[in-house]
């Protein structure tokens, strides 16, 4: 209400209207059909009507201050600040809310006639001020009446500061140095919002705006207040208890990005009917551009579900009371027993509907060294174990030829206690399901080097300087 009062007062303050030059008295000003009383009369200056500012603004309940240092009148309400300097043809409107007040930048409005002081009263041009606040003005010449119509906009209140920040950053009428809209969030303004994307302060990615430190989305309930949102992003949130249920107020989306975000209950995704452009699933680094990949959302969701189930099965071999050695061995054995080398992939044949290593290896049960090593690394990390991938070369037989040669190869380095060791699950898998050996399990640099079939840049990886004698 306070905003309406300020706005209305300001509105009635300045309306540039064409009158006969000799008309001086008898002008009636109405605000929403209510007549405003003046102790001194409005007057005409160069065809524009000027009215006493304090009478109107105080009638509307707005705060009006006089800044004598620069002869400026300052009018404030809950959302906006209007400054009018005497003898200046410029009016400044700062649209802001309390929490964004420091960042707001003023909007300059050019006046046909300046504000003036007469008989110790400040007069302002009525039409300019009224239109600056979005009011409609009508002149009735037969009764010399100025009708100002202003409907106080509905303000959309957000409980979640992160959602509000994302909404403000997506409104085109930005008015602070960061490109953040600082004015009142009316229904018209929130209808402009088409994207909500939140990335924590230290997780900036190209194409997105980094959130201020400490300001993240904690609840998506407020997203229901944004009727035209088509894109949603919660990127690099890590483990979170955010409930995705509120996004079901829409059954179709253009874009959903949950990269780097782990959500315990992702069943909401089953109730989404359609995603048009892009999906990045939570918990796994699986993403699809539907305009580029020969796959649709429901197919991608099926792959994601199958992969998650397969991961749970693989991790079920790891028991909490196992030693580090036992956990590494259990995961090594699971892959060797449930996968076989994909010779078709070596020949460049694509046999899968996706290039996701976790799906190819754990669901379809095949893979080349890059798949073996990336899955082993992923499962180790999920089990709380250290593991990294080594990009090197191996000397062996290329498919369909008897001539051995050096070729690109990937394997892993793990850590037990403070010592590092090589693990090559690919070369420990004897091609048929269930056949597992341990020739390349927990080797030192010297042991792997003695085999003569692996080379790598030692400066790029931890030194494996100890033999694991217990195995």
Across-strand partners of 124?
51
Element (H, E) at 279: strand 274-280
Instruction: Give yes or no for residue 231 having a pLDDT over 70.
Output: yes
Same-domain pairing of 173 and 300: yes
pLDDT of residue 401: 58
Considering the domain boundaries, does residue 466 fall inside one? no
Its pTM stands at: 0.69
Lowest mean pLDDT among 204-208, 370-374, 420-424, 467-471: 204-208
Dihedrals phi, psi of 130, to nearest 5 degrees = -60, -50
Residue-wise pLDDT for 327-354, tens only, equals 999 999 999 999 988 877 665 555 555 6
Mean model confidence pLDDT for the chain? 83
- Looking at 244, 271, 305, the residue that finishes a domain is 305
Which phi and psi (to 5°) does residue 252 adopt? Answer: -130, 145
pLDDT digits (tens, 9 = 90+) for 30-77: 888 888 888 888 888 888 888 888 777 776 667 888 899 999 988 877
Q: By the 8 A CB rule, do 150 and 8 touch?
A: yes
Residue 465 lies in a domain: no
> Whole-angstrom Cα distance, residue 8 to residue 153?
12
CB 74 within 8 Å of CB 67: yes
Both 167 and 298 in a single domain? yes
Q: Are residues 276 and 178 in the same domain?
A: yes
Query: Domain holding 142: CATH number?
Result: 3.30.457.10
In a domain? residue 137: yes
Last residue in a domain, options 128, 149, 170: 149
- Looking up residue 449, the CATH number of its domain turns out to be 3.10.620
Cβ atoms 144, 26 nearer than 8 A: yes
Domain end: 119, 149, 179, which one? 149
Q: Clarify whether residues 34 and 137 are in a common domain.
A: yes
Residue 99 lies in a domain: yes
Does residue 279 surpass a pLDDT of 90?
yes
What is the share, in percent, of the chain residues with pLDDT greater than 70? 81
**182-213 residue pLDDT tens:** 878 888 889 999 999 887 644 444 444 555 65
In a domain, 467, yes or no: no
Reduced to 3 states (helix: H, G, I; strand: E, B; else coil), residue 276 is strand
Burial class of 214 by CB neighbour count within 10 A (0 to 12, 13 to 18, 19+): exposed
Strands 28-31 and 145-149: parallel
Number of domains in the chain: 3
Strands of 80-150, DSSP E: 80-85, 90-95, 107-110, 116-118, 121-125, 136-140, 145-149
pLDDT digits (tens, 9 = 90+) for 401-413: 567 889 899 999 9
User: Which domain range does residue 58 map to?
Assistant: 2-149
pLDDT of the residue at 34: 87
pLDDT at position 237 is 82
Please give the Cα distance from 211 to 146 (Å, whole number). 47
């Amino acid at each position: 209400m306070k905003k309406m009062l300020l706005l209305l007062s300001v509105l009635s303050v300045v309306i540039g209207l064409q009158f006969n030059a000799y008309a001086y008295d008898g002008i009636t000003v109405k605000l929403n059909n209510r007549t405003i009383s003046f102790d001194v009369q409005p007057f005409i200056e160069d065809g524009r009507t000027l009215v006493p500012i304090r009478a109107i603004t105080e009638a509307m309940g707005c705060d009006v201050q006089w800044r004598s240092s620069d002869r400026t009148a300052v009018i404030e309400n809950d959302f906006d600040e209007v400054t009018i300097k005497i003898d200046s043809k410029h009016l400044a409107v700062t649209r802001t809310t309390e929490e964004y007040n420091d960042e707001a930048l003023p909007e300059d409005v050019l006046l046909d006639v300046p504000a003036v002081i007469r008989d110790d009263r400040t007069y302002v041009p009525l039409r300019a001020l009224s239109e600056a606040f979005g009011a409609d003005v009508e002149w009735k010449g037969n009764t010399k009446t100025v009708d100002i119509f202003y409907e106080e906009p509905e303000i959309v209140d957000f409980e979640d500061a992160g959602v509000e920040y994302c909404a403000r950053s997506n409104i085109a009428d930005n008015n602070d140095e960061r490109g953040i809209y600082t004015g009142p969030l009316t229904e018209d303004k929130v209808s402009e919002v088409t994207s909500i994307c939140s990335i924590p302060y230290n997780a900036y990615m190209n194409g997105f705006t980094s959130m201020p430190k400490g300001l993240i989305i904690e609840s998506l309930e407020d997203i229901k207040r944004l009727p035209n949102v088509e894109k949603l992003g919660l990127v690099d949130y890590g483990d979170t208890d955010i409930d995705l249920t509120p996004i079901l107020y829409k059954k179709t989306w253009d874009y959903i990005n949950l990269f780097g975000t782990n959500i315990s209950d992702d069943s909401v995704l089953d109730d989404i009917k359609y995603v048009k452009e892009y999906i990045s699933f939570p918990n796994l680094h699986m993403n699809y551009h539907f305009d580029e990949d020969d796959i649709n959302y429901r197919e991608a969701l099926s792959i994601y579900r199958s992969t998650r189930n397969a991961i749970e099965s693989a991790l079920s071999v790891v028991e909490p009371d196992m030693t580090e050695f036992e956990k590494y061995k259990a995961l090594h054995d699971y892959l060797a027993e449930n996968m076989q080398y994909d010779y078709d992939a070596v020949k460049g044949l694509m046999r899968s509907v996706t290039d996701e290593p976790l799906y190819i290896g754990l669901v379809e049960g095949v893979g080349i060294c890059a798949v073996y090593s990336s899955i082993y690394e992923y499962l180790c990390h999920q089990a709380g174990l250290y593991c990294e991938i080594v990009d090197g070369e191996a000397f062996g037989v290329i498919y369909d030829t008897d001539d051995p040669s050096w070729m690109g190869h990937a394997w892993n380095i793990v850590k037990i206690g403070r010592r590092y060791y090589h693990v090559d699950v690919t070369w420990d898998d004897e091609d048929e399901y269930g056949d597992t050996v341990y020739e390349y399990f927990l080797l030192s640099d010297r042991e792997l080097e003695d085999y003569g079939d692996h080379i790598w840049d030692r400066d790029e990886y931890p030194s494996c300087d100890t033999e694991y004698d217990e195995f």
